A and B are shown apart, each in its own frame.
Chain A
């Protein structure tokens, strides 16, 4: 992520949004590069959809600016912005058939019918709906409606495609298939995607860049790996994947205390004795013989998750650890917990 200005297709600068007295977005700054797949990730009510609607032109920021290609589009209505949206519930026109839905944008722009015909046919083929032209949209399955919605947006050759939880209404299997298909389409067509979801797995699987949002603020922006491995705060750590998050104290560089003991770690740059949050991913916890361990506990319950077992370990200091391991330890067994220093991740505690 270089700070190269020409590369920023969409940029939000210090965007604030409130509806009446309700503050929805606080100081959102974010840019999307050409051909990038950016995901706004967060729980419901975090402001991710509002951010997308500001990009689409359906909401106007209370403060701040938004620009496409360096030019402010603050005053441009949706129909003058070169982006298209795939709406959450598809919003297909029920009074038109599949062909007419996809052709809508081209017709509005007054294209020749031969050109419309050709483009719509090609687009329906791309989304694997060739032959469905004359079908009414309500006769289609959820997955097919979703494809029509994508085709209807893409046929206009937008500079960026905005997707608002597009897979939310699909079942798990179809969702996984569509994730791969969408990603392939994005790479193949070279179109910028701004994607909104609350599903962290989806975000990690598809995105080049993830912006994690909570309470109308961006918590962290980065590549999926960075977000997962180096969460900036307890919220990000808790939202992305499962985590053991504990309060701790940074004694000095490379030394942190938590869970009633002091451990070596690889983090530095904190104040002496600063209160911190410590994150340890469940898959990074080793279960060892209780006698050799500094943290001792008892297995409280075991859940089989397919690839691994997930176990809750009640430690002596009352913290309940989540541990993932391919080897099962029976409920009631006394175990020891060990974490390698480089797998202990120390985060600054969020103010307030």
Chain B
């Protein structure tokens, strides 16, 4: 391909990624004293205060939980999808993708009407003579929102990886004496790992930084990292501290992801990437 074909992308990258990133770094590493802007680590010192460390840890745990649940639901779903053929397969894929056509906010709002005190579930419980439950504004509701919104990002890459596995490899394993469990754990699962890696990445990253879901379904009770950053920028107006928190979380994500990829490529004997 011609090199010049990459220029629009480079321009895009410069305007929308590199320049903002530089701005974020600039704000993060500077502070204002006596009306003068100067380099200082103050914002980072503040970001590592226990109050904010708790927020980061909580975000990490909730995102991890959502990712794990997405994997547990998504892998079997992708597996079933990959084994289906013809019309059934198209229908299932369609059903999987339909919610994605809806606006993200609307999708999340819809859970409000299901979970709230006078929502569908509680009304049903009441009708059955059972006590109402506090479903909304809980951590579970936040994780539920994450799983619901990001599940298809787990299913699709795994589905793609599974579909690409040559049927003759499965037959070869059977031919060599492998029963169903052995075929799955020695051949199918290892070969689907690239899809799992993509899926985990694509769920974990938006989950750890989302602010819409904790704001709506968590009621802003337990701040998550995304809401914290949003607050600093939009409500408090402290861009410098908000930028510092962004940089810290970026660093954490880079570390977490590189650990994850390192483990994965060990298992794949370096052949997968």
Contacts and interface: CB of A to CB of B under 8 A. Distances in A.
B185 to A, nearest CB: 11
B174 A79 contact: yes
A108 interface: yes
A209 interface: no
A58 B169 CA distance: 13
B271 A78 contact: no
Interface of B: 166, 168-169, 171-179, 182, 186-187, 190-191, 268-269, 271-272
A93 interface: yes
Given A94-B169, A104-B176, 10 more contacts: A56-B171, A78-B174, A78-B175, A85-B171, A97-B269, A108-B186, A152-B176, A153-B175, A156-B176, A156-B177
A108 B177 contact: yes
A194 B169 CA distance: 20
A89 B171 CA distance: 12
Contact of A93 (B169, B177, B182, B272): B169
B171 A91 contact: yes
Nearest to B189: A95
A91 B269 contact: no
A84 B175 contact: yes
B268 A85 contact: no
A109 B174 contact: no
A64 interface: no
Interface string A57-96: 1100000000000000000011100001101110111111
28 contacts: A58-B171, A78-B175, A79-B175, A79-B177, A84-B176, A85-B175, A87-B168, A87-B172, A88-B168, A89-B166, A91-B166, A91-B168, A91-B171, A92-B172, A93-B172, A93-B173, A95-B191, A95-B269, A97-B269, A104-B173, A104-B186, A105-B177, A108-B176, A108-B177, A108-B178, A108-B182, A108-B186, A136-B269
Interface residues of A, number: 27
A77 B182 CA distance: 14
B238 to A, nearest CB: 49
In the A-B complex, list the 4 residue pairs whose CB atoms are closest, starting with the nearest: A105-B176, A91-B172, A91-B168, A78-B174
A58 B178 CA distance: 13
A138 interface: yes
A85, A89, A97, A156: most-surrounded residue (chain B CB, <10 A): A85
Given A93-B187, A104-B186, A109 B177 contact: yes
A85 B176 CA distance: 8
B166, B169, B176, B191: most-surrounded residue (chain A CB, <10 A): B176
B159 to A, nearest CB: 19
A258 B67 CA distance: 80
B272 A95 contact: yes
A91 B169 contact: yes
Interface in A275-325: none
B177 A95 contact: no
Contacts of A88: 168
A128 B67 CA distance: 47
Contacts of B179: 79
Contacts of A152: 176
Contacts of B169: 91, 93-94
B178 A79 contact: yes
Given A95-B269, A136-B271, A87 B171 contact: yes
Given A93-B187, A95-B271, A97-B269, A56 B175 contact: yes
Contacts of B269: 95-97, 136
A285 to B, nearest CB: 45
Contacts of B272: 95
Nearest to B187: A93
Contacts of A95: 187, 190-191, 268-269, 271-272
A84 B178 CA distance: 12
